Each structure stands twice: as structure tokens, then as C-alpha cells.
Amino acid sequence: MIDGKALAAKVRDEVAAEVEQLGEVGLATVLVGDDPASQVYITGKHKAATGVGIHANDVRLPADAPEDELLQLLAELNADDAVDGILVQLPLPSHLDEAKVIEAIDPAKDIDGLHPMNAGRLYLGRPRLVPGTPLGIMRMLAEYDIETKGAQAVVIGRSSIVGKPMAHLLLQAHATVTICHSRTVDLQRHTLDADILVAAVGQLHLVGADMVKAGSTVIDVGMNRTDGGLFGDVDPGARERAAYMTPVPGGVGPMTIAMVLKNTVTAARARRGLVSGVS
Ligand code: NDP
């Protein structure tokens, strides 16, 4: 099993050391409305941010906040020098235009990596800020010495926050990448070919053990809440066939939060002219 919890703790230690070096690092999260799942995510991110010494500002707006008010708030956060990273918790209430809101975030502070500028840079192979989930998965693969060069990678799901950036990162790491989605015909034909399989769908145990190639690496992004607890998109029985697999919970989830913190530090460094390897 790939231990996402332990690796996330290691990443948080790295981030804490960088925060100490940088001095003040600021994060602002914005939650519109009171969706219970979103509140849990925001609380988790705040706890993690505070734990590594990042100053986290928790901004909340009522569910019926007009779009102008949110855009005005983002303009203020963009202009605030103490804020290095801005995170707007999604999904937004339906009267708000998500694309417009994301585009209103300064790309230099867009720690979710969703602004068209950051998505475009990733597409061009010159990433800056990349969504935390796929970034965390790449770190897991690196940490466990899982070869991506020449590997056949299959990503199930094509969202802007997981599937698409995942496919681009794998492509950049020289994998041969197939992207599957809800209209894919014969999913199993593709998954059985996968040396690296990433399932990011949100359907309980969509990937059966018989859909997994022997000796492969299986990354389960899915978070499906049931009365019995939290489960992934992959049948846990697949671990008998896979060489490496992430558990749910304790796999991708903790890494996602850790990488959002890492992105905050990346943004802080870039804003101070201390740019790392990426261009
Ligand atoms: P979306 O709903 O945005 O995307 C789901 C994708 O799955 C879509 O591209 C959809 O295809 C595809 N899909 C749906 N049904 C099938 C099917 N039967 N066969 C193949 N593909 C299918 O979800 P997200 O990308 O935001 O999230 C995916 C899952 O990952 C969710 O469970 C979410 O909770 C979890 N998640 C976990 C995170 C973590 O930290 N662990 C972080 C982010 C997400 P189409 O495009 O055709 O509709």
C-alpha cells in the first residue's frame, strides 16, 4: 500500500521548514454558503495550514452573496500583499459563475491551479501552480520509485481539477496516456493495459479487481461516502493484483491538502522573486 498519510506528514514538514525560512506566509480561503462537506474541507485545510505555520484567513460569505461581492472580495485579496495564496472552495452556489470567479483570482495566488493561465501553462509543459490532487499523485509515484517514462497510464475522469491535469503531468513525465470518461466504450479494455491506473470518477468500486493489470500501480482518487464509511472508486480486492495501491481513506486525500500547502509556499516564493525550477 502507498501510505499517503505518512508521505503527507513528510511534505508538511518540508513546507513548515520553508515557511520558517520565508517568514510570514499568508493563505486566504473563501467559502460561500454552508455546504457541510465544504465546511469540513475548509476546516481541514485551515488546521493543516496553521500546523505548518501558514497564516490562514477564513473568509465566509452567505449562500446568497451576490457575484459582485465575491468578485470585489477577490480583488481585495489579490491586492493584499500579506496574502500569498487564495483558495475558493468549490462547488459554488448555482447563481455564481464558477469560471468567472476562478478567472478573478490573481494567477500568481491561484493555489488550486485552476485559473486558465495556470491550466494553460500546464498544457504547454511549463507548469507553475498545479492542482493539489494530481501534484500529490506525482509526488507519490516519485517517492515510491514508480517509473512513468514509457509506462502506459490510464486516467479515468476528465475534470479540470483532477483528470485533465493528471493526464498532462503524466504526459510530461513521458508516460503514454489514455483518458477515459463516461462515454468510453469498454473501460476494462483500457484499464487492463494500464501500468499506472488513476481512477478519479466518484463511483463506488467502479473499477473491479478484474479490471486491473497484474503488477500495476493503482491510484484511487474517488471519495464515496456511504453509511459504512468512506470508500474509493476501486474495489479493495484489486490490491491482490496491483504492485502498489493507494488506500481510501489515507491515500490521495491527505496528500491533496499537503500539496495545497506546498503550492502556497511555491506562490509565496515566486511572489518574493525566489523562483524554483519551474518556469
Ligand atoms: P467530476 O464529477 O468532476 O468528474 C468525474 C469524471 O468521471 C468525469 O470526467 C466523468 O466523465 C467520469 N465518469 C463518470 N462516470 C464514469 C464511468 N462510468 N466510467 C468512466 N468515467 C466516468 O469529479 P472530480 O474529478 O472532481 O472528482 C472525482 C472523484 O475524486 C470524486 O469522488 C471526488 O470526491 C474525488 N476527489 C478526491 C480528492 C481527494 O483529495 N482525494 C480531490 C478531488 C476529488 P464525463 O466527463 O464524461 O462526465
Domain CATH for 65: 3.40.50.10860
> What is the Cα–Cα distance from 153 to 147, expressed in whole angstroms?
11
Decide if pLDDT at 182 tops 70: yes
Decide if pLDDT at 253 tops 90: yes
Q: Does 102 lie in the same domain as 47?
A: yes
pLDDT of residue 51: 98
Q: Does 189 lie in the same domain as 145?
A: yes
Decide if pLDDT at 275 tops 80: no
pLDDT of residue 87: 98
Query: Whole-number mean pLDDT of the chain?
Result: 97
Atom of ligand 1 nearest to the CA of 223: 32
Decide if pLDDT at 110 tops 70: yes
Q: Does 155 lie in the same domain as 107?
A: no
Q: Read off the pLDDT of residues 62-107 as tens digits, 9 standing for 90 and up.
A: 999 999 999 999 999 999 999 999 999 999 999 999 999 999 999 9
Look at residue 71 and tell me if it is in a domain.
Answer: yes
For the CA atoms of the chain, what is the radius of gyration?
Answer: 19
The grid coordinates of residue 96 equal 455564481
The grid coordinates of residue 87 equal 483558495
> What is the Cα–Cα distance from 204 to 232, expressed in whole angstroms?
6
Decide if pLDDT at 254 tops 70: yes
> What is the Cα–Cα distance from 82 to 78, expressed in whole angstroms?
10
- Is 112 labeled as catalytic in the residue annotation? yes
The percentage of the chain sitting over the pLDDT mark of 90, rounded to a whole number, equals 98
Q: Does 137 lie in the same domain as 103?
A: no
Look at residue 32 and tell me if it is in a domain.
Answer: yes
Nearest to 181 by CA among 154, 208, 221, 161: 154
Q: Whose CA is nearest to atom 14 of ligand 1?
A: 182
Longest CA–CA span in the chain (Å) reads 53
Average pLDDT over residues 44-68: 97
Q: Whose CA is nearest to atom 17 of ligand 1?
A: 182
Categorize the per-residue pLDDT at 226 as very low, low, confident or very high, splitting at 50, 70 and 90. very high
Split into its structural domains, the chain has a count of: 2
Look at residue 236 and tell me if it is in a domain.
Answer: yes
Q: Does 224 lie in the same domain as 159?
A: yes
Which listed residue (89, 110, 233, 235) is catalytic?
A: 89
Which listed residue (106, 112, 195, 235) is catalytic?
A: 112
Q: Does 101 lie in the same domain as 31?
A: yes
Look at residue 146 and tell me if it is in a domain.
Answer: yes
Look at residue 116 and tell me if it is in a domain.
Answer: no
Look at residue 273 and tell me if it is in a domain.
Answer: no
* Residue span of the structural domain in which 79 resides: 11-111
> What is the Cα–Cα distance from 39 to 87, expressed in whole angstroms?
13
The backbone region for 131, taken as left when phi is positive above 0, alpha when psi lies in -120 to 50, beta otherwise, is beta
Categorize the per-residue pLDDT at 278 as very low, low, confident or very high, splitting at 50, 70 and 90. very low
Q: Does 153 lie in the same domain as 102?
A: no
Q: Read off the pLDDT of residues 131-176 as tens digits, 9 standing for 90 and up.
A: 999 999 999 999 999 999 999 999 999 999 999 999 999 999 999 9
| Cβ-based neighbours of 218, under 8 Å, separated by 6 or more | 197, 199, 207, 212, 234, 238, 239, 242, 244, 245, 246
Nearest to 16 by CA among 49, 42, 44: 49
pLDDT of residue 276: 63
Q: Does 74 lie in the same domain as 152?
A: no
Look at residue 267 and tell me if it is in a domain.
Answer: no
**Candidate of 5, 90, 181, 191 to mutate for ligand 1, largest count of ligand atoms within 8 Å of Cβ:** 181
CATH number (domain holding residue 229): 3.40.50.720
Cβ 207 under 6 angstroms from ligand 1: no
Atom of ligand 1 nearest to the CA of 256: 40
Q: Does 196 lie in the same domain as 141?
A: yes
Look at residue 118 and tell me if it is in a domain.
Answer: no
> What is the Cα–Cα distance from 112 to 235, expressed in whole angstroms?
29
Burial zone of 33 (CB within 10 Å; 0-12 exposed, 13-18 middle, 19+ buried)? middle
Q: Does 104 lie in the same domain as 136?
A: no
Q: Does 186 lie in the same domain as 76?
A: no
> What is the Cα–Cα distance from 214 to 219, expressed in whole angstroms?
14
pTM of the model: 0.97
Q: Are 269 and 244 in contact (CB under 8 A)?
A: no
> What is the Cα–Cα distance from 20 to 32, expressed in whole angstroms?
31
Q: Does 142 lie in the same domain as 247?
A: yes
